């Protein structure tokens, strides 16, 4: 009997140990013993995926051109658009001018072929957020982070390898946090000096007059290839780019 009891006790002990081990595994998986929960693990995974992939840059808002002398930076916002981006690219190619395209994340994801065309033509990419919320500066940091980093990923995924080098806040709604976040992820905050007002002007002549009148404000000029009918933008670019060259301007990219 003593021997039988000993065998049974050993069996019971093994079973008990197995139950305890299973309980520990379950507790760790559920986060009860200090391990990360599934939600926490997902968050950590997202943070790791968003970790800076290139060297940080200056977090101050840039306007200056990387080209010495009399130079301009042409910047194109709110695309890519399947109708207007190709037309803008044609005009830029015609006049041998490179530009920075500030893209909306979902637009880039929907039109990766256009993003790749922009890159292949030698232009630069800029993050213009997910939702183009011009009230970004009144939103919590978590919202700003999601808007900036999600858009960066969408654009870079669509680009197939090219990096986003700039960040432009919608409507210029930068915050100290958004500037530092973008810079830590390799995107220089990008401002503008000349607003062509192509988004609201009723004629090519009005856009031309605005740009000519403000060209002395600084080198970075703002146009759009998305957000609506951009026929006036295309036409005004076709007239303004040769005029800019006649004034002695060359074309560069914003400093990084």
Residue 14 CA to residue 114 CA, distance in Å, equals: 64
Closest CA to 76 of 105, 112, 57, 104: 104
Pairing of strands 71-79, 220-224: parallel
Residue 111 CA to residue 86 CA, distance in Å, equals: 12
Residue 116 CA to residue 114 CA, distance in Å, equals: 5
Active-site annotation holder among 63, 77, 81, 150: 77
Active-site annotation holder among 111, 128, 185, 224: 224
* C-beta separation of 188 from 165 below 8 A: yes
185 is known as an active-site residue: no
Question: What are the angstrom distances between the C-alpha of 93 and each of 6, 120, 175?
Answer: 89, 12, 35
138 is known as an active-site residue: no
Closest CA to 116 of 130, 132, 135, 103: 103
Closest CA to 220 of 188, 251, 178, 175: 251
Cα(first)–Cα(last) distance of the chain, in Å? 85
For helices 231-246 and 204-214, angle between their N-to-C axes, nearest 10 degrees: 40
Structure tokens at 92: 């830029």
| Angle (CA) 149 73 120, round 5° | 65
> Which of the residues are catalytic?
77, 224
């Amino acid at each position: 009997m003593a021997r039988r009891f000993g065998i049974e006790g050993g069996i019971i002990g093994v079973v008990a140990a197995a139950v305890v081990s299973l309980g520990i595994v379950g507790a760790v998986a559920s986060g009860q013993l200090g391990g990360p929960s599934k939600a926490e693990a997902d968050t950590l995974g997202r943070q790791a995926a968003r970790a800076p992939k290139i060297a940080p840059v200056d977090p101050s808002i840039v306007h200056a051109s990387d080209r010495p002398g009399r130079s301009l930076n042409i910047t194109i916002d709110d695309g890519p658009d399947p109708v207007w981006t190709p037309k803008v690219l044609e005009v830029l190619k015609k006049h041998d001018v490179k530009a920075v395209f500030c893209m909306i994340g979902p637009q880039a994801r929907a039109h990766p072929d256009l993003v790749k065309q922009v890159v292949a033509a030698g232009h630069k990419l800029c993050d213009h957020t997910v939702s183009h919320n011009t009230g970004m500066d009144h939103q919590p940091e978590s919202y700003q982070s999601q808007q900036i980093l999600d858009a960066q990923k969408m654009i870079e995924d669509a680009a197939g390898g090219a990096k986003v080098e700039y960040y432009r806040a919608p409507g210029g709604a930068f915050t100290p946090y958004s500037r530092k976040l973008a810079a830590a992820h390799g995107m220089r905050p990008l401002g503008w000096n000349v607003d062509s007002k192509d988004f609201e002007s009723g004629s090519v002549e009005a856009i031309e007059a605005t740009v000519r009148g403000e060209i002395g404000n600084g080198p970075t000029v703002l146009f759009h290839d998305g957000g609506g009918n951009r026929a006036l933008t295309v036409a005004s670019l076709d007239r303004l780019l040769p005029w800019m060259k006649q004034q002695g301007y060359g074309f560069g990219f914003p400093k990084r």
